[in-house]
Structure 1
Amino acid sequence: MRKWAGRFAALVCLLMCAATAIALVETDEWWIRILDFPRLQIAIGLVVALIVLWWSRPARAKSIAVMSVVALAWQVWLILPYTPAWKAQMIAAKACPAGQSVRFLLANVLQDNRNAELLLEVARDTDPDIILLTEIDAWWAGEVESLTASRPSTILEPRSNTYGMGLYSRLPLVGGEVRYLLEDDIPSIRTRVALPSGYQFTLWGVHPAP
């Protein structure tokens, strides 16, 4: 059993190392970029596999163990900025000066989903200043039109190709425009947002391909 456990652990290590290496390739191909997301799972898989590898001590496994430790170190390094162990890059919301804080709600509605009421319920419960929706088509734009009652500043670009976007804001939008930065049929939104304090910031709304 120990022998087979070692072989299986070695195989897992090789797969996790391969996933780590493939993710280093600079490309927009979705089947490569998707490996940027399960970093925590890959790291946990490497830890467990290394423990089993150490327990089983299979012959000729040192090189696999070394590669796995390097891959694990790389994954941990990329995960650390998103943990409490890393210094925060933003001040806490409660420390923000009056008139300069904004509440956002960002939601991918999933175009084929037809449960608009659930989204409206979330919007009522969270009461955000700005709502950015992606994947909205004409049906969705009509179903959530009530959002404009309290958020009259809007930029809407509904589409049937799963890349529609809708921006709803109770704060004034200045110079808002729809751009096509990614593809001719994939819209992006750029606008300035005016805060009660008089300060303005630039907001980009993008929904890139996977």
Structure 2
Amino acid sequence: MPTSADYIRLSWSDIVPDRPFTDPDHNVEDMAHLQYMVGQLRHVLSQMKIIPAQPRPYILFLEESGGRRHRIALARPEELLTLTELAVVGFCGAKWPEANRAPLNAVDAELLDEFMQHPHLLSYSSLEVEGGNWRNLVLFSHPQGIGHWAISMKHAYAAQELSPTYYRHIRLHNGLLPGGLLSGSEITLTRTKYYDYQNQSLWWAVRELQA
């Protein structure tokens, strides 16, 4: 993995000319997808009269327009309904045209099996969008959960070994959901990381959105 010394720090308005995916205007579309997933998760939980105690994670599949796929994995739904602030990770990737998703799907299944080993992980939503790309929304009860999730060997393998072969570039957002899931509030972004796999060496950058 790249170290903190390897990245480029971007100001709130910087655009890297040869890397247009870093344009902060992309945050508008990214946030629309992530906020939509928050809304769908809120709707699902508010409509469920009884949340089964097992299995965990509890997996739901939603119908989306055009046959697009939307999966919600609930690890700790009771906390989602009661906590008044959630930590957010939003993943927005653009795949290579001929990329094979099978290896990522295999690791994804293994990651589901270890969900309950991550104490702050509450839910994981995956939404298929235009072009066969995916948006992922992960909610945590505490920001410390993000670090715990990142050091998972399976997660690290997916990020370090599989991502460069599947994705051209990635925007990885961090944020908060003030008031909690049921408050109806919107995600507040705090940081975006950019990863470009289009050359032999990884290029990455960080944009801090809040002090």
Task: Give the TM-score of the pair, scaled to structure 2.
Answer: 0.25
Asked which structure has the greater RCO (Cα within 8 Å, sep 6+), the reply is 2
Task: Give the TM-score of the pair, scaled to structure 1.
Answer: 0.25
> Which has the larger helix fraction?
1
